[in-house]
Structure 1
Amino acid sequence: MIKAIGLCAALILPAQALAIPLSGWTEQRFSLFSGNDWRQGSDSVSVASNGAVSMLWTNLPTADWGARTASWSWSVSTSVPATDLTRKGGDDRNLSLYFVFMPEEIARQNANAGIRQLLKVREARVLMYVWGGNAPRGSLLPSPYLGNQGKTIVLRPAETGSANEQVDLAADYRRSFGEAPTALVGLAISADSDDTNTTITAGLSRLRLE
């Protein structure tokens, strides 16, 4: 009986938050000649961007595909100006944190794909949480690059400072795409200052999934 009670308790307790290592991610550049200066550590990553754009990305193991909430800390000490995040070619932002979803069977077919290939998969859906732009916190914006496959969610407008974030991926996915989320297969972090030819100094740490 005691063992049964213990098992039931284990089943109803919330899952423990999983710390995501922020080292060993792959940089994806969008120009052969320029990119950001990324510094990766086990629990933090920093970036210096000078009129450039690039992202770091990582695939998630299948054990993490069911994650439905996320939390992290981030800071910006040098900020790009406020931009229109819906404008292609004019949407600089300090930091974006991407969550890439797709059905499990499609994810298994693309297990070795890079981020650019994953973002081209027709069934992929992407939530982008952003520090930047001129829209107020909580704004849900269309992506100028991903069409119906991606949505931008503004957490902080363009400014300096530091903040802790906690997001409900499942609720934001339903709000963005009108259905339950599929498997969370990948993550990416970008910094973008090329359109305004300005600079960014920023960092992100303590990324957790649950």
Structure 2
Amino acid sequence: MFRFSSLAIACALTTALPAEAASVGFDGDWKQQKFSLFSQNRYGFRGNTLTVASDGAVSLAYKALPEALWPAKSARWSWSVTEGVPPTDLRKKGGDDRNLALYFVFLPADQAQAFKGASVRKLMGADAARVLVYVWGGAAQRGAVLDSPYLGARGKTVVLRTAGTGHSAESVDLARDYGRAFGGVPGALVGLAVSGDSDDTDSTIRASVSGLQVN
């Protein structure tokens, strides 16, 4: 079960990015957030690619974004799953396993500076935080809008791919999805996170995310 959320909104799933999109490397700036002393994933940070191995476990890898990327309003990436969890109900607290989830964390521009250097727990728990989560997993169809069992009003989940294996390239319009999820326009994109979640089904995930870019 993922402690922060299942989130989903109806959104445009195929928005292209301009050529000047900025790459977000998988480097030493990423930090792992564990939810149990004995349950954590294994992440491989390999420059352009993040590998995720999960065996009946759950944890999250998080990276704070530099201020130059705070205005970003769109994103793209590729992801692959060779082993994954079975279909689940992403709305169910304690039963929302998924292969992969990408989190885009926003704060109002006038509050972003105050949270620089904050832990991902503190950041996602902030009343003003808003989180879009794009998911590969669950039983709902692509584009389904699901409520979060953990983040409440602070988060929404977009299902991009249902449970299963394969490879896919994704491109999302964060500004449009934010407006449909929360109303208004997004503030500063202060952080990104990636998770794999297999603890409820005691299953196995072998997956990767590559070519992550924001603009």
TM over 0.5: yes
Partner of 2:39: 34
Q: Note the C-alpha offset of 1:105.
A: 2.1
User: Is the partner of 2:51 in helix, strand or coil?
Assistant: strand
Q: Note the C-alpha offset of 1:188.
A: 0.2
Partner of 1:77: 82
After TM superposition, the score normalised by the length of structure 2 is 0.90
Partner of residue 179 from structure 1, selected from 164, 184, 191 = 184
Is 1:21 the equivalent of 2:25? yes
Unaligned runs of 5+ in 1: 1-13
Higher RCO by CA contacts (8 Å cutoff, separation 6 or greater): 2
Is 1:100 the equivalent of 2:118? no
Between structure 1 and structure 2, the one with the greater Rg is 1
After TM superposition, the score normalised by the length of structure 1 is 0.92
**Percent of counterpart pairs with the same letter?**
55
Partner of 1:4: none
Partner of residue 53 from structure 1, selected from 55, 58, 61 = 58
Give the Cα–Cα distance (whole angstroms) in 2 for the partners of residues 157 and 45 of structure 1.
20
Partner of residue 115 from structure 1, selected from 115, 120, 125 = 120
Give the Cα–Cα distance (whole angstroms) in 1 for the partners of residues 67 and 75 of structure 2.
17
Give the Cα–Cα distance (whole angstroms) in 1 for the partners of residues 186 and 73 of structure 2.
8
Partner of 1:8: none
Change beyond 3 A, Cα 1:188–1:91: same
Q: What is the CA deviation profile of residues 107-138 of structure 1, one whole-angstrom value per residue up to 9, with x for unaligned ones? A: 11111101111001100000000000000001
Give the Cα–Cα distance (whole angstroms) in 2 for the partners of residues 73 and 137 of structure 1.
16
User: Is the partner of 1:63 in helix, strand or coil?
Assistant: helix
Give the Cα–Cα distance (whole angstroms) in 1 for the partners of residues 81 and 175 of structure 2.
27
Q: Note the C-alpha offset of 1:146.
A: 0.3
Q: One-letter code of the match for 1:128?
A: V
Unaligned runs of 5+ in 2: 1-17
User: Is the partner of 1:96 in helix, strand or coil?
Assistant: strand
Change beyond 3 A, Cα 1:18–1:94: same
Moved over 3 A (4+): none
Give the Cα–Cα distance (whole angstroms) in 2 for the partners of residues 33 and 82 of structure 1.
24
- Size of the alignment, in residue pairs? 197
Is 1:191 the equivalent of 2:201? no
Partner of 1:209: 214
Partner of 2:6: none
Q: One-letter code of the match for 2:75?
A: A
Partner of 1:88: 93
Q: Note the C-alpha offset of 1:15.
A: 6.7
Give the Cα–Cα distance (whole angstroms) in 2 for the partners of residues 34 and 157 of structure 1.
24
Moved more, 126-135 or 101-110: 101-110
Give the Cα–Cα distance (whole angstroms) in 2 for the partners of residues 200 and 65 of structure 1.
31
Give the Cα–Cα distance (whole angstroms) in 1 for the partners of residues 21 and 183 of structure 2.
26
